[in-house]
Amino acid sequence: MLRTVMKVLRRHPVRWSFVALCALPVLACVASAADPVPANTVITLQRGACEKRCAVYKVVLFADGTVIYDGQYYVRKTGVMRDKIAVEGIDKLLNEFQAAGFFDMADQYGYANETGCSSMLSDGPVAIVSIVSGTKSKAIIHNHRCVGAVPGQLARLESSIDTLANTVRWTK
């Protein structure tokens, strides 16, 4: 479609310049519809320590499929690792966040209070999940001591991030 517009513009530059200016926003929408993952998408998972030997690391997923892992304590690989995954995986993960209602969840579970927790365990690591995508952004602190329906959904999202980034190769 863009090639056809360019051919017409070359033949009739003055006459079609107005049409081309009107068509640019439409072409931009067509290009963004083909790329479902917003270019500013960044998803992070940071796992913290616990009383036992819990893995402490951070993983960041970018819209283009770039994965950055930073292992700190009780992991197989310490330091920064980089990898690339399919963009379709990022899109699928964004859909999981939407389906779970991530942007409507509270900012914390089991960290400063017990709101949203049906019970509290004696120990559990803290996980921080954050996402920026398009015009939305959200971060949630999840202490795994907190047990309940919503914390269970968070744990599944955290697991999905780990699975997509294949962090097990660096952590176990």
* Whether residues 84 and 14 fall in one domain: no
60 forms beta bridges with 44, 68
* Whether residues 131 and 48 fall in one domain: yes
| Confidence bin at 141 (pLDDT 50/70/90) | very high
* Whether residues 135 and 53 fall in one domain: yes
pLDDT at 36: 84
* Whether residues 139 and 66 fall in one domain: yes
The size of the chain, in residues, is 172
Residue 158, pLDDT above cutoff 50:
yes
Domain extent for 64: 42-171
Least confident among 7-21, 91-105, 123-137, 155-169: 7-21
The pLDDT tens digits for 98-139 are: 999 999 999 999 877 788 888 888 778 999 999 999 999 999
* Whether residues 74 and 132 fall in one domain: yes
| Domain of residue 82, CATH code | 3.30.1560.10
Give which of 135, 141, 61, 153 is closest to 99, Cα–Cα: 153
* Whether residues 106 and 126 fall in one domain: yes
16: left (phi over 0), alpha (psi -120 to 50) or beta: alpha
* Whether residues 20 and 57 fall in one domain: no
Give me the sign of the Cα torsion angle 79, 47, 122, 107: positive
Give how many domains the chain has, as a whole number: 2
* Whether residues 112 and 130 fall in one domain: yes
The pLDDT tens digits for 25-43 are: 433 443 444 558 999 999 9
* Whether residues 13 and 47 fall in one domain: no
- Which position has the higher pLDDT, 104 or 11? 104
* Whether residues 13 and 62 fall in one domain: no
| Confidence bin at 21 (pLDDT 50/70/90) | very low
Residue 149, pLDDT above cutoff 80:
yes
- Model pTM above 0.85: no
* Whether residues 25 and 105 fall in one domain: no
* Whether residues 47 and 9 fall in one domain: no
pLDDT at 26: 38
pLDDT at 29: 40
Tokens of 96: 């999981």
The pLDDT tens digits for 44-100 are: 999 998 887 899 999 999 999 999 999 999 999 999 999 999 999 999 999 999 999
134: left (phi over 0), alpha (psi -120 to 50) or beta: left
pLDDT at 27: 38
